[in-house]
């Protein structure tokens, strides 16, 4: 399993094996935390997270695990 960990004021784990780069996390994140890079989601700005959990709730494959959700 290829899990990438992004740490800022929160910790965001993205399971790259599950990620299909649908872009839901990018679309629903009010903090503009996520970008699709090379066909996978990346939490490029974890310090901008507002802890709304939209990314976790809207990821169609359950690839995102968030420390505050």
Give kind and range of the element (H or E) at residue 4: strand 3-7
Is residue 21 exposed (0-12), middle (13-18) or buried (19+ Cβ within 10 Å)?
middle
Distance CA 56, CA 20 (A): 14
**Contact partners, residue 60, CB within 8 Å, separation at least 6:** 20, 22, 24
Would you say residue 25 has pLDDT above 70?
A: yes
The domains located in the chain, with CATH, are: 3-66 (3.30.70.20)
- 40-69: per-residue pLDDT in tens? 999 999 999 999 999 999 999 999 999 988
Distance CA 61, CA 21 (A): 10
**pLDDT-above-70 percentage for the chain:** 99
Q: How much is the pTM?
A: 0.91
């Amino acid at each position: 399993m290829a899990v990438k960990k992004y740490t800022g004021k929160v910790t965001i784990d993205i399971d790259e094996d599950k990620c299909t780069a649908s872009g839901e996390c990018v679309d629903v994140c009010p903090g503009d935390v996520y970008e699709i890079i090379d066909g996978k989601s990346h939490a490029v700005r974890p310090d901008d997270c507002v802890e709304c959990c939209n990314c976790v709730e809207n990821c169609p494959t359950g690839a995102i695990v968030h420390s505050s959700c």
